[in-house]
Amino acid sequence: MTVTSWKPAQLADLRECLELMTADGTVPGGVIAHGTLDGQPGFLTAGIVAPECGDARPGPDTVYDVASLTKVVATWPLIGSTGIDLDTPVSTFLPTVPAEAPGGKVTMGQILAHTTGLRADTRLDQYRNRSADLAALICGEDLIAEPGAGHRYINRGFILAGLLLAQDTGRRLNDLAAGLWTSLGMTSTAYGPISRSSQVAPTEQRLAGAPRLWGIPHDDNAALLGGVAGHAGVFTTAADLATYATALLAGHRDGTELGRWLARSIVPRAVIEPGIDRGLAWILAGDGRAVYHHGFTGTSLYLFPATGRYLAICTNAVYHHQDNRTALAPLRDVAIKVITAEP
């Protein structure tokens, strides 16, 4: 690995895009952390946290609901640290799931690679007033494809992974995650709900005239699970994401347990589209050189192990928009362009 610093022009492109998206109302504001594994992070900021927070400006310690970044900030590293066999059917770990259940033969490796064939719609609300165990309900549904047959992004798999982690370790998922984050020095990362303040970014207003979601998960299914789930529910800061990215990249260089897990996870497992693959949880681009994941609320984390560089984007884009893949595309396009640029 040759550690490569960020070029001023690359950071200027990121800043300009974030400022333009703030000015046109795509996001109230946001923070981008940038750095390398052997240096201190830098931060680009724009706009405000949200109108509810007055004049408060976003910064390294502003807390954001990171939505699906939960998959790679909580669930994925915990699976790596517990050493759960990726090829063993989930029914082996979950006593309430019969081996003959449609989802009983799904493996943790398939969950991480989004190749389970489980139903794509999450909709845990359909299980209200059902007495059966949630894992059994999820695995009892008919599959939409044969496990391992192809890629389809499925939150249900990571919900199941969170349940499996708790069952296998005998500890609650939020407790497991808190121990991990503490060990890495991520002092501002936690599952919600968290207290409202001017440094916690609100998200969506679900009903006209009602308060916005603020300090509680934007994801409906995470909320149904009390805010603690394998697919969503984590709140964190750009500073903590920089700490996490540094630990991953340094571990990859030094061959630590976490680094070996990252190396194993960035081998392509399934094709998402031409040029884009899925490893274990992570998305891989540029022949696997760039490693990243997004969160629906307006967050992203990018790693480039070959150069030791990272980017972490924190915004609350759902404050204004639900169609975030379109709204956030310009910033995400710039991010992947600059992190994969030749040194």
The C-alpha R_g of the chain, in whole angstroms, comes to 19
Residues 20-71 have pLDDT tens digits of 999 999 999 999 999 999 999 999 999 999 999 999 999 999 999 999 999 9
Query: In whole numbers, what is the pLDDT of the chain averaged over residues?
Result: 95
Name all domains of the chain by residue range, CATH numbers in brackets: 8-76+173-339 (3.40.710.10), 85-169 (no CATH)
Count of other CB atoms within 10 angstroms of residue 312: 29
Q: How far is CA 160 from the centre of its chain?
A: 16
Distance CA 122, CA 260 (A): 31
Residues 295-340 have pLDDT tens digits of 999 999 999 999 999 999 999 999 987 666 678 999 999 999 999 9
Per DSSP (E only), the strands in the chain are 29-36, 42-47, 63-65, 190-191, 234-237, 270-273, 276-278, 283-285, 290-295, 299-304, 309-315
